[in-house]
Amino acid sequence: MHPGTATSRKAPARLMILSIVAALALLGWQLLGRAQDAGVRLPAPALDPPAASPSEETAVLAGGCFWGMQAVFQHVKGVDRVLAGYSGGTVPSPSYEEVSSGATGHAESVEVRFDPRQVSYGRLLQVFFSVAHDPTELDRQGPDDGTQYRSAIFFANDRQKRIAAVYIAQLQAARLFPSPIVTEVTALTAFYPAEAYHQDFALHHPDYPYIAINDLPKVGNLKRLFPDLYRDAPVTVSSN
C-alpha cells in the first residue's frame, strides 16, 4: 500500500470520529438543557378526597424509564417505598428483556407506597404530571421509544380512577400542555417488581450519562417546584 494512501485514509477517519464525538456531546447538552428546562408546577387536583382508611396506600404509575420515575418519588415526603417494575401486560413475572421487546404489553412502572396522612394520591399525580414525565408523548418518553415507555395510571380502586380521570380533564380544560394528554387510565391487574439491579439505580449511578441527562434534572425540578413535598434524604428499596 502506498504510504500516502494510508495517511489520506487516517485523516478522514480521525475527523469522522471527532465529528461524531462532537455531535454526541452537543446532543447531550441539548438533551440536558431540555430536561432541566422541563417541569412546571401544575395546579393541584380539584378532586382529591381522602382515602377511607388512613393506612398505607399504593399508587402504580408509568411514565418512561422507571429509573427516573423511581428517583423522583423517592424524594417525596410521605412516600415509604418506591419499587421499579412492570405493569399493564399479559405475561406473568416478565423479565426486563421480555418487557423491552415490547411484546408483553407491560409498561415500565413504579409502585409507590405512601402514607395518605402525609401526602394524598392527588398530590402524587400532581408530581407525576408536573415533573416526573411528559404526559403528551405517545408510546415513548424522551429518548426511549415503545409501548413499554407509555404514560399510564394503573388505578387500584374506583376512588383512584375518579381522581385520575377528573384531574386529566382538569388539566386538559386548562390547556396547560401544548399537545393533548395521552396518559391511559386503566385498572391495575398486577405489578411485578423489576430485577434487583434496577432498584435504586439512579441513587447508585448518579454519574451514568442517561441518569445525569434525563433523570437528575427531574429530581431538581421536584425540589425547585415542590419545596413543600421535597425531602433531601430519599427512601430506598434497600432500607425497607
Active site residue 50: no
Q: Per residue of the chain (240 residues), what is the pLDDT tens digit? A: 332 323 222 233 333 333 333 334 434 434 443 444 458 999 999 999 998 888 899 999 999 999 999 999 999 999 999 999 999 999 999 999 999 999 999 999 999 999 999 999 999 999 999 999 999 999 999 999 999 999 999 999 999 999 999 999 999 999 999 999 999 999 999 999 999 999 999 999 999 999 999 999 999 999 999 999 999 999 999 877
Residue 38: the pLDDT is 58
**Selected catalytic residue, list 65, 194, 219, 222:** 65
Architecture of domain 38-225: 2-Layer Sandwich (3.30)
- Residue 59: CB atoms within 10 Å: 24
- Per-domain residue ranges of the chain: 38-225
Q: Cα separation of 156 and 187, whole Å?
A: 6
Q: What are phi and psi of 163, to 5 degrees?
A: -60, -45
Residue 53: the pLDDT is 80
